[in-house]
């Protein structure tokens, strides 16, 4: 397996407080953003029409995406995605009232109406419930598995806290950049749970179950873990950039969420998790 040349970090130069400060401050800021968003909007993350209900219109048009978004319809346009050729678009609206939207499309000389559909608010609420349950079950299952594997409080909490931070930070960044929570971004968050647990368990196994000193074991884990994470980040960044260039907003959002989450995972694994493990080993905390 190809590995990046990971520089060996001299953790002895930093105290536990110095190492843990950065990830905890970032986590605190992310929680503050989500809390403030909830107070202002009633939801910690802005939901897409997958969860609120809305309409989609498929048209063929010579107009650009910007023109379709800004100047064509009376109803506010949420997104315009290009599909199946240069001139075919799926236009998304918050409104579930299709009649005036279809009338605008049919009467326009610059577009051809191809089809439409709606997501009812009731169906959107059911999607939202299933998404929350799915993330909750995945996180709970991950937590139980980690506790069963290590059977010690501190190493298990380190993994769970890192995974929690890996979810919270991308959600906060989504709010700041105007990316709405959709079924696609929920799938990306579920993937992040897997990525996070993978790198954290790799680190814990090297430190707690393999021979060698703490810093030697940490560096061995970093060589593999950082390689895996950077490779995944590069792939997701390429996907996000390509999807943005081709106007595929859903794929661009998924790629962006994964890049942010994986970057957070690097910080949480090799600063927060390492600090808790060092404290656990050298302070003699066994339970």
At 267, which CATH number?
Answer: 1.20.1640.10
Task: Please say which residue of 98, 119, 140 terminates a domain.
Answer: 119
Q: Domain for residue 215, yes or no?
A: yes
**1 pLDDT exceeds 60?**
no
CATH no. for residue 105? 3.30.70
Q: Domain for residue 4, yes or no?
A: no
Residue-wise pLDDT tens digits, 65-120: 777 777 677 777 877 877 766 678 888 887 767 788 888 888 888 888 888 777 66
C-beta of residue 240 within 8 angstroms of C-beta of residue 266? no
Query: Could you give the CA distance from residue 248 to residue 232 in angstroms, rounded to a whole number?
Result: 20
Query: Could you give the CA distance from residue 169 to residue 173 in angstroms, rounded to a whole number?
Result: 6
Q: Do 22 and 107 fall within a single domain?
A: no
Task: Please say which residue of 119, 136, 161 terminates a domain.
Answer: 119
User: Number of C-alpha atoms within 13 angstroms, CB side, residue 123?
Assistant: 10
Strand pairing class (111-119; 54-61): antiparallel
How confident is the model at residue 170, as a pLDDT? 95
Q: Do 37 and 66 fall within a single domain?
A: no
Q: Do 66 and 22 fall within a single domain?
A: no
Count of structural domains, the chain = 2
DSSP labels, 49-95: HHHH-EEEEEEEESS-HHHHHHSS-SSPEEEEEE-SSTTEEEEEES-
Query: Could you give the CA distance from residue 19 to residue 16 in angstroms, rounded to a whole number?
Result: 5
Residue-wise pLDDT tens digits, 131-183: 778 888 888 888 888 888 878 888 888 899 999 999 999 999 999 998 888 88
**202 pLDDT exceeds 50?**
yes
How confident is the model at residue 286, as a pLDDT? 43
Q: Do 279 and 162 fall within a single domain?
A: yes
Stated pTM of the model:
0.82
How confident is the model at residue 22, as a pLDDT? 95
Q: Which domain holds residue 82?
A: 54-119
**Which tokens in the block code for residue 287?**
């339970």
- More confident: 131 or 284: 131
Q: Domain for residue 2, yes or no?
A: no
Q: Do 220 and 133 fall within a single domain?
A: yes
How confident is the model at residue 287, as a pLDDT? 43
Query: Could you give the CA distance from residue 163 to residue 269 in angstroms, rounded to a whole number?
Result: 9
How confident is the model at residue 155, as a pLDDT? 86
Residues 6+ apart with CB under 8 A from 129: none
**240 pLDDT exceeds 60?**
yes
Q: Do 248 and 138 fall within a single domain?
A: yes
Residue-wise pLDDT tens digits, 28-50: 999 999 999 999 988 888 888 77
Q: Do 274 and 136 fall within a single domain?
A: yes
Q: Do 225 and 176 fall within a single domain?
A: yes
How confident is the model at residue 119, as a pLDDT? 67
Task: Please say which residue of 119, 135, 150 terminates a domain.
Answer: 119
Q: Domain for residue 5, yes or no?
A: no
Q: Do 197 and 258 fall within a single domain?
A: yes
């Amino acid at each position: 397996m190809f590995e990046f040349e990971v520089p060996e970090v001299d953790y002895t130069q930093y105290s536990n407080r110095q190492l843990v400060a950065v990830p905890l401050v970032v986590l605190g800021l992310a929680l503050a953003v989500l809390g403030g968003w909830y107070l202002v909007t009633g939801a910690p993350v802005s939901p897409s029409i997958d969860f609120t209900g809305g309409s989609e219109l498929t048209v063929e048009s010579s107009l650009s995406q910007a023109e379709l978004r800004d100047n064509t319809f009376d109803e506010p346009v949420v997104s315009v995605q290009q599909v199946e050729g240069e001139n075919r678009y799926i236009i998304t609206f918050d409104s579930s009232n299709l009649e005036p939207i279809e009338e605008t499309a049919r009467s326009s000389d610059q577009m051809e109406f191809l089809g439409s559909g709606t997501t009812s608010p009731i169906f959107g609420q059911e999607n939202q419930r299933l998404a929350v349950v799915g993330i909750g079950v995945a996180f709970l299952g991950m937590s139980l598995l980690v506790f069963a594997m290590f059977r010690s409080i501190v190493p298990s909490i380190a993994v769970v806290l890192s995974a929690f931070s890996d979810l919270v930070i991308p959600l906060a960044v989504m709010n700041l950049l105007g990316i709405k929570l959709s079924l696609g971004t929920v799938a990306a968050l579920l993937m992040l749970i897997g990525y996070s647990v993978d790198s954290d368990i790799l680190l814990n196994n090297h430190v707690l179950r393999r021979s060698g000193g703490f810093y030697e074991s940490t560096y061995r884990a970093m060589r593999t873990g950082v390689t895996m994470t950077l490779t995944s980040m590069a792939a997701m960044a390429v996907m996000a950039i390509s999807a943005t260039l081709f106007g595929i907003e859903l794929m661009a959002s998924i790629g962006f969420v994964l890049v942010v989450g994986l970057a957070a995972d690097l910080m949480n694994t090799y600063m927060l998790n390492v600090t808790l493990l060092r404290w656990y080993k050298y302070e003699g905390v066994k339970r």
